[in-house]
Amino acid sequence: MNAHVSPVCVTATNVTSLMTNHPAAISQPLPLPVELRRRISVNHALGEQITQQRQAVQRILNGQDQRLLVVVGPCSIHDPDAALEYADRLAALSEEVSEQILPVMRVYVEKPRTTVGWKGLAYDPNLDGSGDMPKGITLSRELMHAVAARGLPVATELLQPMLAPYVDDLLSWVAIGARTTESQLHRELASDLAAAVGFKNATSGDVQVAIDAMQAAAHSHQRFAMDSDGRPVMQQTAGNPHTHVVLRGGHGEPNYQAHQVRAAVNTLREAGQNPRLMVDCSHANARKDHRRQSGVMLDVLAQRKAGDANLVALMLESHLFEGKQALTPNAMRYGVSVTDACISWETTERLLKSAADQLSG
């Protein structure tokens, strides 16, 4: 031992002091996934619908279906009633544009945070920091089930791998976000999903990490998981062949323009991966200005009409009303995002109808 360093003596007084200087850990039991799936169950007819919708998404990503895949909806869900009104409107619009477009509704119940902030419906459904996760997980499954029952394919970003078994049987498309695309745990999770998975490029704009993620997710893995009784198990995954890159820009700069799309496609081909792409019209591609999403979408449609068949999908952040709002008790505006600002339903409807017209020509 270094003569100049005194050993630390751990005494009862030391321990008491340490305990009083740190808040006590609080645990709260959660329902088992099997219990929640039994309570909010997928019947045969709904299960067949979800299977068919997953296959439709996969055919678009494989180039077998020439429709445009559009993942659209609120940045995050904080009010299930507003989300269901949005779902009703989108379901009606889907019937009008179904020959040219396959709309998939964003039902995002988790939100990644750069530092701190509201983490989503699954974590804090009361919007007050109380963290009622049993209620949040239940509400999340109920909402996804209700959206699927309206005939819409459901999309979400899976942030916490332990949440996946509560909802993954309801999902037709899954995002792995820019902050987690490089995560081994999320690549293993993706390899275990039946739904198609879009890996976003890194926040720096680097597309290679998403390509690496596709390669990893295509393989079988041994991963930590829970069985139906909530016990930890080693799960052998099958590998997921239905993955793709989502271009979302990086460091405030877009990457949806024609030369950047060509570069991404060439890199994917060189790696032996699916070259078909989704463009996220928000985030850095819109320079964090929700009003620019329309311009991004129109640019991508123009590239597609000019012959770029690899641009098969788009993502829009859209709510009933434009903009965003702070989480303010007793002063919340109905149908307005509490995370990223969104375009309005009217703008969304106009964009999708215009896209359907352009694609039918």
pLDDT 10s digits, 238-250: 999 999 999 999 9
Residue pair 219/238 in contact (Cβ under 8 Å)? The answer is no
Q: What is the DSSP string of 195-259?
A: SEEEEEPPTT--SHHHHHHHHHHTS--EEEEE-TTS-EEEEE----S-EEEEE--BTTB---SHH
pLDDT 10s digits, 22-63: 566 788 899 999 999 999 999 999 999 999 999 999 999 999
- The half-sphere exposure of 132 on its side-chain side, counting CA atoms within 13 A, is 10
**Sign of the dihedral defined by the CA atoms of residues 273, 238, 64, 54, in that order:** negative
pLDDT 10s digits, 148-179: 999 999 999 999 999 999 999 999 999 999 99
Q: How confident is the model at residue 13 (pLDDT cuts 50, 70, 90)?
A: very low
Ordered structural domains, the chain, with CATH: 30-360 (3.20.20.70)
- The mean pLDDT value for 253-275 works out to 97
Residue 21: pLDDT above 70? no
- Average the pLDDT over each of 58-72, 84-98, 214-228 and give the range with the smallest value: 214-228
Residue 18: pLDDT above 90? no
Q: Which two tokens stand for residue 357?
A: 């017209």
Measured distance CA(324)–CA(321) in Å, rounded: 9
Q: Write the CB contacts of 49 (distance below 8 Å, at least 6 apart in sequence).
A: 148, 151
